[in-house]
Structure 1
Amino acid sequence: MNVQTKFSEAASSLLSSASSLFIDNDFRAPKTGEGNPIKVENPATLEALLTLAPLTTADVDDAVAAARNAFDNGPWPGLPATERARLMFKLADLMERDAALLAELETLDNGMPTVLSNHMALPLSIEIMRYYAGWPTKLDGRTIPATPGAANGAPTLTYTRREAVGVVAAITPWNFPLGMAILKLGPALAAGCTVVFKPSELTPLTAMHLARLIAEAGFPEGVVNVVIGEGSIVGAHLANHPHVDKISFTGSTEVGKSILGAARGNLKRVSLELGGKSPVVVFADADLEQAIPGAAMATFLLQGQNCMAGTRLFIEKPIYETMMAGIEQVAKGLKLGDPFAMDTMVGPLISKAQQDRVASYVVSGVEQGAELVTGGNRQGPGHFFEPTLFSNTSADMRIVQEEIFGPVISAQVFDDASDLKALARRVNDTQYGLSGSVWTKDLSKAHGMAHLIRSGQVAINCHGAVDINVPFGGMKQSGWGREYGEAALDGYLETKAITAVF
């Protein structure tokens, strides 16, 4: 496989001057440098991109102290809403100015195909920041016609205020680095919070340039601080930190549970967007010209490293063979390779560990009796893995129950489309509840099935219908709280009631 390494002059400059610590609008060296260096590689070529000095808990303490000071003593929480909005709009403008560089960095350390980084990741990230930049002036309270007993019948005025939670620790994964960062920063900044942002140590490049843009935009010192380090050290210390008021985390369900345990020390507010094993339900009357590529890309997009990936495919029996043949054809037709090539649709997985994980699930599927229709193989020299389709799977198989986070679809057949409740019991037989989709021309069946699926988001005749105005989040063990839209702001605000007696 021929994979080219491409560096612009701007990207080379960032790589040569990188640091793992950004505090008070300035990159600085860690205090001790003890521990394992953070090695960032290009997952398409295995080339080393840079090595960062490791952080210690003392470095994290400095970042939290800066955010705490900016919130308690700095201008940020009391800044006029119009000024907060102006700075956020300025940041969005700078992101748009540097969109080509940010897209390049996203592809370099994540392996995201450039067609997606340029035409999906960057426009969406800029749109999210601009959306939340419009909110600071709209976070108003209410007046309430209350007569509290303490007033003893005297005239009163009762009203509510929406106030910032405080210092937020934002912890994001490696699968969609820039977009995940903006999904945390946007509502946190709009609410008036200060932030300690920890991106994945596997994909820190866009976070480092974003830090530069935050300083250039003119945000006050300490409002946004960036710490790049191992989750077991940096992330764990943030989750336990007594001066952090809220954790906003996107990642695995296992880590989410550990964050909940750590947060109880000072009863931090917690929002969690966790794992998924999303169903795709295709009825016999579906438009197969839409359903076949839709079901395929519901999993294969971003190499399956996508929390809402539709990895459990349920197909009504009359169209099962046609649907499977169509998805097999799509899988074989997707170009796997150089993420900087404009016709590449499937890039590398993030790491050797992730490649090994996906390969082990393929072995497990075969051992448990599933039929491997296509794919299932590694490709090199990077961490590539072929789009993979299994047939004849069942609910007791690991490939059906566990989140693989790779390009693997597990298909099952169903016979009776008239008993939606029975079908829903099969569809809901999972610990997760993040996303899902239903494909049919029958509106009654479509909405009936969508209502029965236990997921925070369900789409009809499409999959992963994400829009900045639409709340997104999970049920069951897929998380707490919502991102996107107005609903995301609730996690960063407290409601205070005030009563005055005249």
Structure 2
Amino acid sequence: MPAHAPPEIKYTKLFIDNEWVDAESGKTFETVSPIDGKVITRVAEGDKADIEKAVAAARRAFHRKSEWRQLTASARGRLLHRFADLIERDREYLSTLETIDNGIVYAMSRFMIERVTSTVRFAAGLADKVHGDTIPSDFEGFTYTLRQPVGVCGLILPWNAPMSMFVSKVATALAAGCTMVVKPAEQTPLTALALAALLAEAGVPRGVVNVVNGYGSTAGAALTHHPHVAKVSFTGSLEVGKIIQQAAGASNLKRVTLELGGKSPLVICDDADLNFAVPYAAEGVFSLQGQVCVAASRLFVQSKIYDEFVKRAVEYAKKRKVGNPFSEGIQNGPQVDEEMMNKVLGYIEKGKAEGAKLLTGGQRIGTTGYYLEPAVFADVTDDMTIAKEEIFGPVQSIMKFETLDEVIDRANDTNYGLAAGIFTTNVQTALQFSNLVEAGTVWVNNYFTMEPRIPFGGFKDSGLGREHGLEGILQYLEIKTVNIALPKLT
């Protein structure tokens, strides 16, 4: 374990109806630190019985006469601001806990606290700005609309950014006035439990937020099939997203928001400044160990600058420091667990076997923890596995292109459509690419710019709906139309 003092593990049970309880079965499971492969602690393992209790608590909290439903929108906003204050107070504890459980570089974890608090405060500001419209009508009277919370929500979190994802989903649902059951990823449950404790301290009423640790096949399945859950929000793999979409229509017609990853293209045109493009392209696929849904994992470089770009990309990757995420100057920590490490290594072997040139990296570092050297492949073609499938690791695949028209078609030749990027000094090129590429987010001369006020989501198999921004809160609201008849004045 790192020299940095390990945090006290305060919360390991389920959080249901504002109480810390054991799983009905009494079962627990291990959460392991990817830093050294050692068990951090054991947490309660919830399943269908615990989901039943949590949904019942959330349903009671959503009753029209409940304390939660009687709160004004402004009061919900003040509660969220208190939550943000508590996150800032406990930033050291939360960022340390996130790094130990997830492997994220500690400096990045501390930076993420700023994004987390800004997300909560943005949601707090939205709480009292949900409004309807008055609509001109041809009948005698008038019509208006109301936006009202959808009800009990099932929020299923990924392991790659557990703290950010908890806050993004929970704060938005709270601003809308919903109640919820949160199912953290089994690999990384600890910050979700710590944040639930802060919500209770901030004054969230009983049953509004419930957290049930467990596995997708048990707790997750029970949540998505539950007839009293009105909406599911899931971030994770395409395969699981399809299962959730099917489950959402099995018992009732749930609203669904899905963010399901990507195979994002980043295009480097021959007029790009390589002093900026090379580092951005590397950070776009190496940051957070490559465990990012919007990773720039398909890198298209125009032929005139291809050789020079590849040379610089290799030099940049070789200088990247991988190691203990608490150590000074480290840029990459470990992959989240042994399974993911081996999955990435498997893709690297496929890349070599299919003819791509591995120019640097691609090896495991040491035998303790799950560390990988950042890999750079050149001469990658569109039909190779590493160019088609989401790797979710620090693997840069560089491909050559000739014309803008060609690269737009190649960029769009995927079932994913989450993000895309382009580096060029030509405004017309940038606008044409941005208009024609099939992606929910397009970055021009930058990559990874994300803020709580900017809507985020994908095209095609990258998902349904949007998170963040004004569009995000609309996913948790129903529109009700009210027609009022008035007699004619005589």
In the other structure, the counterpart of 1:76 is 68
In the other structure, the counterpart of 2:386 is 399
Shift in Å at residue 451 of structure 1? 1.4
| 2:254 is the counterpart of 1:268 | yes
- Aligned amino acid, residue 387 of structure 1: P
Equivalent of residue 106 in structure 1, options 98, 107, 118: 98
8 Å Cα contact 1:455/1:475 also seen in 2: yes
In the other structure, the counterpart of 1:39 is 30
8 Å Cα contact 1:435/1:464 also seen in 2: no
Alpha-carbon distance between aligned partners in 1 of 2:324 and 2:268, rounded to the nearest angstrom: 33
8 Å Cα contact 1:99/1:122 also seen in 2: yes
- Aligned amino acid, residue 54 of structure 2: A
8 Å Cα contact 2:44/2:213 also seen in 1: no
Aligned residues: 483
Q: Match of 1:100, SS?
A: helix
Q: Match of 1:134, SS?
A: helix
| 2:165 is the counterpart of 1:180 | yes
| 2:13 is the counterpart of 1:29 | no
Equivalent of residue 214 in structure 2, options 216, 229, 232: 229
Alpha-carbon distance between aligned partners in 2 of 1:292 and 1:499, rounded to the nearest angstrom: 58
8 Å Cα contact 1:19/1:28 also seen in 2: no
8 Å Cα contact 1:77/1:164 also seen in 2: no
Residues 394-450 of structure 1 deviation map (CA, whole Å, 9 limit, x = unaligned): 1111100000100011111112x3xx3322111111110001100000110111112
Which deviates more from structure 2 when the two are superposed, residues 75-84 or residues 363-372? 75-84
Alpha-carbon distance between aligned partners in 1 of 2:242 and 2:340, rounded to the nearest angstrom: 21
Residues 180-237 of structure 1 deviation map (CA, whole Å, 9 limit, x = unaligned): 1111012100100001111111111111110110111111101100011011111111
8 Å Cα contact 1:296/1:331 also seen in 2: yes
Residues 227-280 of structure 1 deviation map (CA, whole Å, 9 limit, x = unaligned): 110111111110100010000000001100000000002010000011110001
In the other structure, the counterpart of 1:151 is none
Alpha-carbon distance between aligned partners in 2 of 1:78 and 1:476, rounded to the nearest angstrom: 39
List aligned pairs for 1:312-351, cutoff 5 A.
312-351=298-337
Residues 311-360 of structure 1 deviation map (CA, whole Å, 9 limit, x = unaligned): 10000111111111111111111110010113111000001000010000
Shift in Å at residue 7 of structure 1? 3.0
| 2:123 is the counterpart of 1:127 | no
Shift in Å at residue 6 of structure 1? 3.1
- Aligned amino acid, residue 447 of structure 2: H
Alpha-carbon distance between aligned partners in 2 of 1:367 and 1:62, rounded to the nearest angstrom: 50
In the other structure, the counterpart of 2:443 is 459
Mind listing any 5+ residue stretches in structure 2 that lack a counterpart?
Answer: none
| 2:461 is the counterpart of 1:468 | no
| 2:127 is the counterpart of 1:136 | yes
Measured on the aligned residues, the alpha-carbon RMSD in Å equals 1.1
In the other structure, the counterpart of 1:280 is 266
In the other structure, the counterpart of 2:5 is 7
Residues 108-136 of structure 1 deviation map (CA, whole Å, 9 limit, x = unaligned): 100000110012x1100000000000111
| 2:382 is the counterpart of 1:389 | no
In the other structure, the counterpart of 1:97 is 89
- Aligned amino acid, residue 454 of structure 2: V
| 2:474 is the counterpart of 1:490 | yes
Residues 449-486 of structure 1 deviation map (CA, whole Å, 9 limit, x = unaligned): 12121100010001122122111100010000111111
Alpha-carbon distance between aligned partners in 2 of 1:423 and 1:54, rounded to the nearest angstrom: 47
Percent identical: 44
In the other structure, the counterpart of 1:145 is 136
Alpha-carbon distance between aligned partners in 1 of 2:171 and 2:200, rounded to the nearest angstrom: 16
- Aligned amino acid, residue 417 of structure 2: G
Shift in Å at residue 375 of structure 1? 0.6
| 2:51 is the counterpart of 1:60 | yes
Which deviates more from structure 2 when the two are superposed, residues 160-169 or residues 24-33? 24-33
Alpha-carbon distance between aligned partners in 2 of 1:195 and 1:64, rounded to the nearest angstrom: 8
Q: Match of 1:254, SS?
A: helix
In the other structure, the counterpart of 1:208 is 193
Shift in Å at residue 305 of structure 1? 0.1
Shift in Å at residue 77 of structure 1? 2.6
Which deviates more from structure 2 when the two are superposed, residues 71-80 or residues 391-400? 71-80
In the other structure, the counterpart of 2:464 is 480
Alpha-carbon distance between aligned partners in 1 of 2:301 and 2:369, rounded to the nearest angstrom: 34
Alpha-carbon distance between aligned partners in 1 of 2:174 and 2:458, rounded to the nearest angstrom: 23
Shift in Å at residue 499 of structure 1? 0.9
8 Å Cα contact 1:282/1:314 also seen in 2: yes
8 Å Cα contact 2:14/2:44 also seen in 1: no
| 2:292 is the counterpart of 1:292 | no
Q: Match of 1:76, SS?
A: helix
Equivalent of residue 248 in structure 1, options 230, 233, 253: 233
Residues 28-52 of structure 1 deviation map (CA, whole Å, 9 limit, x = unaligned): 1111224xx3211110111210012
Alpha-carbon distance between aligned partners in 2 of 1:461 and 1:307, rounded to the nearest angstrom: 19
Alpha-carbon distance between aligned partners in 2 of 1:143 and 1:53, rounded to the nearest angstrom: 49
Shift in Å at residue 492 of structure 1? 0.1
- Aligned amino acid, residue 114 of structure 1: Y
Shift in Å at residue 20 of structure 1? 3.4
Shift in Å at residue 5 of structure 1? 5.1
8 Å Cα contact 2:320/2:332 also seen in 1: yes
Mind listing any 5+ residue stretches in structure 1 that lack a counterpart?
Answer: 149-154
Alpha-carbon distance between aligned partners in 2 of 1:216 and 1:469, rounded to the nearest angstrom: 26
8 Å Cα contact 1:25/1:214 also seen in 2: no
- Aligned amino acid, residue 396 of structure 2: I
Q: Match of 2:234, SS?
A: strand
8 Å Cα contact 2:131/2:146 also seen in 1: yes
- Aligned amino acid, residue 93 of structure 2: L
8 Å Cα contact 2:300/2:407 also seen in 1: no
Equivalent of residue 399 in structure 2, options 407, 412, 421: 412
- Aligned amino acid, residue 57 of structure 2: A
Residues 37-80 of structure 1 deviation map (CA, whole Å, 9 limit, x = unaligned): 32111101112100123222111100010001000242223311
List aligned pairs for 1:370-385, cutoff 5 A.
370-380=356-366, 381-385=368-372
